[in-house]
Amino acid sequence: MHKLTINLEVNGRKINKEVNSHYRLLDFLREDLDLTGSKEGCGAGECGTCSVFVDGKLVKSCLMPVAKASGKKIETVEHQGTPDNLSTLQKAFFLTGASQCGFCIPGMVMAATSTLRNNPKADIEEIKEEMGGNICRCTGYQKIFDAVELARDVISGKLDPKALEEYSKPEASYLGANVKRIDAPGKVTGRLKYAADMKMPNMLHMQVFRSSRPHAKIKKLDLSKAKAVSGVEAIVTCDDVPGIDNFGVFIEDQPVLAKERVRYVGEAIAAVAADTLEAAKEAVSKIEIEYEDLPALYDPEEALKDEILIHEHYKTNLVKHIPIRKGNVEEGFAKADLIVEEKFATQPVEHAYLEPMAGLSYVDSDGTLVIVSPSQNITHHRHMMSKIMDLPINKVRFIMSPVGGGFGGKEDMIYQGMLALCAMKTRLPVRYVMTREEDITSTAKRHPSRTNYKIGITKDGKITAVQIKMLADGGAYGCSTEGVMRKAAILGAGPYKIDNLQMDTFGVYTNNTPSGAFRSFGALQTEFATESILDICAEKLNMDPFELRRKNMFVAGDLTHTKQELNSASIGTVLNELESLASWEKGTPNSRGASRKDLNGKDNRDSCFLGARLNEKPEASGGVK
Amino acid sequence: MLRYDNYFIPKSLDEYFNLLTEVKDYRIVAGCTDVLPWAREGRAGNVFIKNIIDITNIKELNIFEIHKDKIKISATTTFQKLFIDPQIRKDIKILPQVSVWFADDQIREQATIGGNIVNASPAGDGSPAFLTLNAQAIIMGRKGKDIYERKISLDKFILGRNKVDLQGNEILAALEMDNTKGYGASFEKVGHRRSLVISTVCVSCVARTDSSGKLFDDVRIAVAGVREIPCRLEKTEKFLQGKEINEQNILQASVLDLDVINARSRLEYRKEVLQNFIIRAIIKSVSEKIIIKENYFEKTKIQKLEEVHA
Amino acid sequence: MSLTKKRGRGMAASWYGISRTAAMDQAGAWAEIDDGGTAKVVTGVTEIGEGILTVLAQVAAEELGVKPELVHIGDNDTSRSPEAAHAGATRQTYMIGNAVAMACRDSKDKLFNEIAKEWNVEKETLQAHDGEIWANGTNYKMPMSEAIHICKKKYGVIPVGSGNYTSHNTPLDPVDGSGSPWQAYVFGGQVAEVEVDTATGEVQILGIWACHDVGKAINPKGIEGQIEGGVVQAVGQALMEDYQQVEGHTTTGSFAKYILPTSLDVPKVTTKIVEDLDPLSPLGAKGIGEPAMVPTCPAIMNAIYDAVGVRIQSLPATPEKILRALDEKKRKSNGMAIN
Ligand SMILES: Cc1cc2nc3c(=O)[nH]c(=O)nc-3n(C[C@H](O)[C@H](O)[C@H](O)COP(=O)(O)OP(=O)(O)OC[C@H]3O[C@@H](n4cnc5c(N)ncnc54)[C@H](O)[C@@H]3O)c2cc1C
Ligand code: FES
Ligand code: FES
């Protein structure tokens, strides 16, 4: 690899060093200096996890070749404070609870620092604009804004620095107290190590060769040129799996690496472990493959016809159907004064946890296979892994590293099998870090759904019958589809007493990216339909939407849709509290926005225009000769 | 991943042109904010270019001149400079306005105007603003031992998607643009969010009225996002010249150039937004006082067009 | 021009089940009151951002009578820590919180056995809080650090506790779906206020009012954080996020194409917590992680309808969809055919 010599100052330390010439400043900080507080969330300037100061200006270090940084002064999050000596801003982040998974937080601290350096009096609009290049997937930004405003007021002297320490110690009980997050100091200072931040001696780097076809037979896989690349230690394929090569959360339908067939674009086919990332990438580019394309399915309706089969041995594309039956819907609809039928659809959604998938695997001195990864379900993963590797469970050890956001996306096992195969084959530690692009295109999504909805309701707003059919695209492998269908079915009709219910959810295979676990797991899709159609009904019945819901809501003792007796049901309290919290003006939901009186209250943010830092609002720039 | 063996940072034009005679496989970079994201999966993928030549330290390209009628700024000027420079903020209002909508504060510290123009993305935000300032591209090259300079108007310089009129060893050195002191300005942009947003439609407008404040004196509007190459709206501009500032004239003007749209997708959407943006941008640039009657926006697209043509 | 900007409000309600669905759910934990009046808790848990470590520290502090900052929580390691199963299904506080409470009670009980001997009092009179231990109705009181020293050095006992919590969820009947999939349910509701720009179709969410039952709120600020974050994820789903494929090939394969909400796209969220304690579990806490985002999308769509009279039934409500729907609506009301 070509090298160049750079001279620079990092966090006050003068450094003169030979580096890989193609390194970006971010690579240099992370790989050569172990300053892993700067993270790589996207590598393309789109997320801000890599923000650092270069000669006092905040930039995204993933977009700066290291050569450009030569001669400059670099300041990273590690320079802002230490867990026992936090900066004012870091203290404010700590106090407000601004860090959740923490992956965006070092970048956020840097962006906030820059904002207040540029203008110690920055108002909230300026703060939002200046931090607009840093994405947070966990917090909704609110506590981050709170932290920056708090720090600003302390720095400007408006607030006593004691405001940063404030922490009301509970008299009687710690339960119910706002105890400050114990994980925050390590996060706001960038000290916490996520999987991609970890290194081991003699560690290899893994890269994955993936399918470019949605549905095809693998006719030939030629690894010879890839194996010849210098630095390559091992290449693994499905042939290297010692045990049972099928895993999954509910249905064991997935091979560690594609076997004979690929079922979606991005499916892993082979994995290379090499002594450098560059060698591993090069080897992947030299793998040769021949496909025989098969007819493919992209539409779940089509999939239901079973004309093309994604997993032939199942003889059907139906992954799971969950039925729920209560009462008699025909009778229920007959009693209705109003019947509404509508269709709803939701899109596939990416988890977009800011920490891309990453893991480290090695074999311990006693032969135990160890996998360190931010998996949300290591208990189950070790069961699957012991079968795959044909090892007793006590010889498989999973360590869950800090998770930089999961939202269900790190629940299904994805890359751990390949890592383990490489570690077993080479007996060396192997690390794998996905790029953002690889992560988006190859990992599971929220199930896209189509829902047909029919509801019967009386004049005075009592639901008499509901019939729901939801079809969801599960993509190429089963993953969590079964569970998602179940939750969608159980909860879909909402917190309402419905005597006559017919609910069916269907998940099917297609050749799309697999769908999997995602925060709110199916309930989001079906409850969206229910809550939309209830407002349609409310308009037709000329009834306030809260009122309509109150007429039908569960009370303690009611039977749920699955005929479970509820020992308690707080929905009544919740609706009352919500109505007063929002100062809701009662009325029919008939597009009355223009005339309502409850708008523009103090709990709204201002409508956002850009240019908070321009002297004049863009609205008022009228020019005269 | 972008890989290269050598990263050169020439300090003078001579050094730069000498380098070009020595190395074969090379790519010029400035802020790298287009080049690095381009060399990733889903786009160019893994790219190897033997030599990277960074032009941001060439001393002759350190130009930032604001004169009474014209301004001249080097191609390596960053968008953040356009955002924060007090003189620019005061006199050439369109530049800070486009900058605030451009990427984010951090990218703007790196992203150069030259890179934005030469990259020539149909969704690029810089060029329409520069077009409203009648920008001239100043290009430098070297023939034998002689460094030459040529000037070409920006609309002629941009030839197509990712294509500009640079020959051989030529480099975009600077832009020369009108100082629009006294003009109002407005930049309108819509995408799917409000920061780090790629334009679906963007409109730049600079304008001023006559001294009475009643008539349009000079209105310049340019668009991007809706076609391969950004362009000025000539019919609209001409129509407004000298006309009274009123609702009817603005509405009539707003439909004259809608056929500039030649985007491949979302045509209907782009058309409707473009018209609305033209109206909005003109009003913001000349006067806040014009009110478009609410019921105008209640009408359908077709009705709107029919009404103003009638 | 602000004439093109219209505001409106909408609401939606929701409910959700806590812990694994329709299957037995269980979690285990170990706890030990340690030297210096500190504590060690080991269970199968790693922070994924939800604040679980802090919640567990609070639970342990409460149950053991030590200070939360003196609780150390061990790593989640399948070979070294008790099984607590997966980090999902809104089960962390409910399942692991209760398992830790049970383990701490066990540990404290062991300490109290010895201290009761030491002071010659009934065990039932002993209490511990915030690093101190005392016997009610007496003058006996000492720091936890001393108590643990006595327990170990004088009585030879290390107060190691273990605990387990089970949620007896039952499978669904395959034909009619009947069953008790969860022990605990939570309910929620949200109001959204939006501004729709009819010139561009852009929607800005200005405010969300979120009211959620979480059972016992162990760390209210953490719950607020979960709600704010959940709401904003749902704002993404409601307005802009859309993973797209063309014939199986992803066309939104980077953050430049897969659009997430930034700091300029998010509403102010006002939260109200309702505490309807779970009657079946020791702590009474339920959960909030997933339920936080369930009502947001429909509340937003209902608000858009309120503002401009178009109902988006296929997410996300992109600017383009809004303008198209507006145009169709106008055509309909003008008696024109919809093309
Ligand atoms: C997260 C993100 C957000 C963005 N947002 C926006 C946005 O909102 N609006 C927008 O318009 N763009 C945006 N961009 C694109 C990019 O930042 C701009 O196009 C930027 O101005 C490019 O300038 P640069 O100096 O970084 O170019 P480089 O990447 O250094 O170069 C781009 C191209 O121009 C050539 N080049 C550069 N300078 C010269 C020169 N002087 N003479 C000849 N050739 C030259 C290079 O060879 C290369 O081909 C965004 C990019 C990112 C990563
Ligand atoms: S912006 Fe640099 S890693 Fe995302
Ligand atoms: S805390 Fe911001 S991404 Fe997790």
Looking at this predicted complex, what is its ipTM? 0.97
pTM over 0.90? The answer is yes
**C290 min Cα distance to partner chain B (Å):** 25
Q: In the predicted model, what is the mean pLDDT of residues B226-239?
A: 97
| Number of the ligand closest to the Cα of B75 | 1
Assign a CATH topology to domain A88-167+181-189. DNA polymerase; domain 1 (1.10.150)
Beta carbons of A129 and B195 less than 8 Å apart: yes
Q: Report in angstroms the alpha-carbon separations of B187 from B240, B262, B287, C179, C194.
A: 19, 21, 15, 59, 24
Q: Does C171 map to a domain?
A: no
How many structural domains does chain C have? 2
How high is the pLDDT of residue A542? 98
Q: In the predicted model, what is the mean pLDDT of residues B22-40?
A: 97
Closest to A206 (Cα-Cα) out of A230, A239, A227, A236: A236
**B296 min Cα distance to partner chain C (Å):** 10
Residue C78 belongs to a domain with what CATH number? 3.30.365.10
Q: Are A547 and A510 in contact (CB under 8 A)?
A: no
Q: pLDDT: is A118 or C331 the higher one?
A: A118
Chain B residues in contact with C254 (beta carbon < 8 A): 37, 40, 42
Distance B36 CA to ligand 1 centre (A): 10
**Best B104, B125, B289 residue to mutate vs chain A (most A CBs within 10 Å):** B104
**pLDDT band of C334, cuts 50, 70, 90:** confident
Q: Does ligand 1 lie within 6 Å of residue B273's CB atom?
A: no
Closest to B207 (Cα-Cα) out of B269, B249, B258: B249
CA atoms within 13 A on the CB side of A194: 33
Q: In the predicted model, what is the mean pLDDT of residues C93-104?
A: 98
Beta carbons of A624 and B194 less than 8 Å apart: no
Closest chain B residue by Cα to residue C259: B192
Query: In terms of domains, do C134 and C197 share one?
Result: no
CATH 3.40.50.1100 fits A3-79, yes or no: no
Name the domain boundary from C166, C200, C217: C166
Chain C residues in contact with B37 (beta carbon < 8 A): 254, 256
Which position among C124, C290, C320, C328 bears the catalytic label?
A: C290
Query: In terms of domains, do C161 and C92 share one?
Result: yes
Q: Is C290 a catalytic residue?
A: yes
CA dihedral B232, B238, B239, B242 (to 10 degrees): 130
Count other C-beta atoms under 10 Å from residue A158's C-beta. 10
Count other C-beta atoms under 10 Å from residue C3's C-beta. 14
**Best C260, C320, C326 residue to mutate vs chain B (most B CBs within 10 Å):** C320
Helix (H, G, I), strand (E, B) or coil at B272: helix
Chain B residues in contact with A620 (beta carbon < 8 A): 288
Distance between CA atoms of A148 and A159, rounded to whole angstroms?
A: 13
Q: Does C237 map to a domain?
A: yes
Q: What is the pLDDT of residues B85-94, one digit of tens each?
A: 999 999 999 9
Burial class (CB in 10 A: 0-12, 13-18, 19+), A383: middle
* Pocket lined around ligand 3, Cβ cut-off 6 Å: A 99-105, 136-139, 354, 405; C 49
Q: Does C43 map to a domain?
A: yes
Domains contained in chain B, CATH given: 2-54 (3.30.43), 61-178 (3.30.465.10), 184-309 (3.30.390.50)
For residue C107, give its domain range.
21-166
Distance between CA atoms of C240 and C316, rounded to whole angstroms?
A: 6
Q: In the predicted model, what is the mean pLDDT of residues B18-33?
A: 96
**pLDDT band of C339, cuts 50, 70, 90:** very low
Distance C325 CA to ligand 2 centre (A): 36
Q: Is C335 a residue whose pLDDT tops 90?
A: no
Cross-chain CB nearest to A132 (options C180, C264, C314)? C264
Query: In terms of domains, do C273 and C232 share one?
Result: yes
Cross-chain CB nearest to A517 (options C5, C15, C88)? C88
Q: Does C175 map to a domain?
A: no
What tokens were used for B55?
């032009």
Tell me which DSSP letter residue A193 carries.
P
The long-range contacts involving A152-157, CB below 8 angstroms and separated by at least 24 positions, are A152/A116, A152/A120, A152/A121, A152/A122, A152/A127, A154/A88, A154/A92, A155/A88, A155/A116, A155/A120, A156/A120, A156/A121
Chain B residues in contact with C324 (beta carbon < 8 A): 268-269
How high is the pLDDT of residue A618? 45
Q: Does C245 map to a domain?
A: yes
Q: In the predicted model, what is the mean pLDDT of residues B282-292?
A: 78
Q: Does ligand 2 lie within 6 Å of residue A356's CB atom?
A: no
Query: In terms of domains, do C77 and C223 share one?
Result: no
Average model confidence (pLDDT) across chain C? 96
Name the domain boundary from C166, C190, C213: C166
Q: Which atom of ligand 1 is nearest to the CA of B113?
A: 21
Upstream peptide bond of C316 is cis (omega within 30 degrees of 0): yes
Query: In terms of domains, do C30 and C52 share one?
Result: yes
Q: Report in angstroms the alpha-carbon separations of A598 from A225, A415, A454, A578, C332.
A: 69, 51, 32, 14, 29
Sheet bearing C203-213, strands edge to edge: C5-17, C185-197, C203-213, C268-274
Q: Give the closest residue (by CA) to ligand 2 atom 1.
A: A45
Beta carbons of C232 and A382 less than 8 Å apart: no
Query: In terms of domains, do C231 and C298 share one?
Result: yes
Q: Which atom of ligand 2 is nearest to the CA of A61?
A: 2
Q: Does ligand 1 lie within 6 Å of residue B112's CB atom?
A: yes
Beta carbons of B100 and A22 less than 8 Å apart: no
Closest to C5 (Cα-Cα) out of C199, C192, C207: C199
How high is the pLDDT of residue C333? 83
Query: In terms of domains, do C125 and C225 share one?
Result: no
A556 touches chain C (CB under 8 A): no
Query: In terms of domains, do C224 and C268 share one?
Result: yes
At a CB cut-off of 8 Å and minimum separation 6, what does B281 contact? B186, B187, B188, B203, B204, B205, B221
How high is the pLDDT of residue C331? 86
Closest to A137 (Cα-Cα) out of A172, A103, A110: A103
What tokens were used for C227?
């709600």
Q: Does C79 map to a domain?
A: yes
Q: What is the pLDDT of residues C49-74, one digit of tens each?
A: 999 999 999 999 999 999 999 999 99
What tokens were used for A6?
């750079």
Closest to C291 (Cα-Cα) out of C183, C216, C188, C217: C188
How high is the pLDDT of residue A609? 86
Residue intervals in chain A for CATH 1.10.150.120:
88-167+181-189
Q: Give the closest residue (by CA) to ligand 3 atom 2.
A: A136
Name the domain boundary from C134, C166, C198: C166
Query: In terms of domains, do C39 and C107 share one?
Result: yes
**Best B3, B84, B106, B240 residue to mutate vs chain A (most A CBs within 10 Å):** B106
**Residues in chain A, pLDDT under 70:** 166-170, 615-625
The CATH number given to A310-350+445-550 is: 3.30.365.10
Q: Does C331 map to a domain?
A: yes
Residue A209, phi-psi category: left (phi > 0), alpha (psi -120 to 50), beta (remainder): beta
Q: Give the closest residue (by CA) to ligand 1 atom 15.
A: B34
Q: Strands (DSSP E) along A211-357, which ranges? A: 216-222, 232-236, 261-262, 268-274, 288-293, 318-326, 338-346
Q: Report in angstroms the alpha-carbon separations of A202 from A470, B190, C204.
A: 51, 50, 51
Distance between CA atoms of A235 and A426, rounded to whole angstroms?
A: 10
Q: Are A257 and A420 in contact (CB under 8 A)?
A: no
Q: Does C176 map to a domain?
A: no
Q: What is the pLDDT of residues A168-194, one digit of tens each?
A: 666 789 999 999 999 999 999 999 999
CA atoms within 13 A on the CB side of C184: 32
**C242 min Cα distance to partner chain A (Å):** 6
Amino acid at site A406: G
Distance between CA atoms of B278 and B295, rounded to whole angstroms?
A: 18
Q: Kindly give the pairing relationship between strand A232-236 and strand A204-210.
A: unpaired
Q: What is the pLDDT of residues C31-40, one digit of tens each?
A: 999 999 999 9
Distance between CA atoms of C21 and A494, rounded to whole angstroms?
A: 16
Distance between CA atoms of A221 and A174, rounded to whole angstroms?
A: 60
